[in-house]
Structure 1
Amino acid sequence: MSWQEYVDNNLVGTQQFSQGAIVGLQGGVWAASKGFDVSHAEILALANGFKNPDTVRTNSPLVDGKKYMVVKADERSIYGKLGKGGFCAVKTNQAIVIGVYGEGVQPGSAASVVEKLADYLIANSY
């Protein structure tokens, strides 16, 4: 399966997310849903947030140019809220899986989807 298929089928295709991406820890976009533009700087800020969660707690991260309030940050996961939606970002060995959800989606359900995809990628050495 291609990286784009993971985004299309395992993130956006679950109906939990309006947008999603898999990006490299070093800053490159491996695959993203149409119109979802995660910048190099945004990726590096998230990657740094996994190393030092206080950085994203005090300096809310941008994802696709939108500033989110962080509700959870640790060495594996960063969750943010914006209005009635939010994002989930989970680190694997080589990548970050990002899903953005909108109003009507339960944050816990959305987080479960991203966490499971990240676990699958980790189990397959990514």
Structure 2
Amino acid sequence: MSWQPYVDGNLIGTGKVAKAAIFGRDGSLWATSNNFSIGAAEVHTLIKAFEDTNDIQANGLYLEGKKYFYLRSGDNNSIYARLGASGVTCVPTNQAILIGQYAENMQAGDCTVVVEALGDYLRGQGY
């Protein structure tokens, strides 16, 4: 299965997500936008946070070497974090992790709706 069209069309293509990536639950990169570079250690910390948010609540969530402030967890163990006026929505599915970052000129809620909708779709397809 090619995952790049999901990043390009379903996430970035909406205009509601500035940067996006899809990882496997094992931390392997499946697809990413051209301008999004998340380190392996950052992904593994995020994977652990879906089970227990204590570490990112205390120390923040690092993506691209930047510290995001943990806001909350939502349905399906989704994680929401903020860096200034920008932020991320991180959504786990059965087999994948979706990360959508919104820029300062975007609305957090719009990004969340887009990333969560793709997560719901993928879960419905068994992913």
Q: TM-score range by the shorter chain?
A: over 0.9
Q: CA deviation at 1:19?
A: 0.6
- Cα distance in 1 for partners of 2:125, 2:58 equals 33
Q: CA deviation at 1:35?
A: 2.4
What are the Cα deviations for residues 70-101 of structure 1, in whole angstroms up to 9, with x where unaligned?
11125621111111110100000011100011
* Residue correspondence of structure 1 range 1-126 to structure 2 within 5 A: 2-73=2-73, 76-126=77-127
- Cα distance in 2 for partners of 1:68, 1:42 equals 11
- Cα distance in 2 for partners of 1:88, 1:79 equals 5
- Cα distance in 1 for partners of 2:2, 2:34 equals 16
- The number of residues matched between the two structures is 126
Large movers: runs of 4+ above 2 Å? none
Output the TM-score relative to the length of structure 1.
0.94
Secondary structure of the corresponding residue to residue 98 of structure 1: strand
Runs of 5+ unmatched residues, structure 1: none
CA-based RMSD: 1.3
Output the TM-score relative to the length of structure 2.
0.93
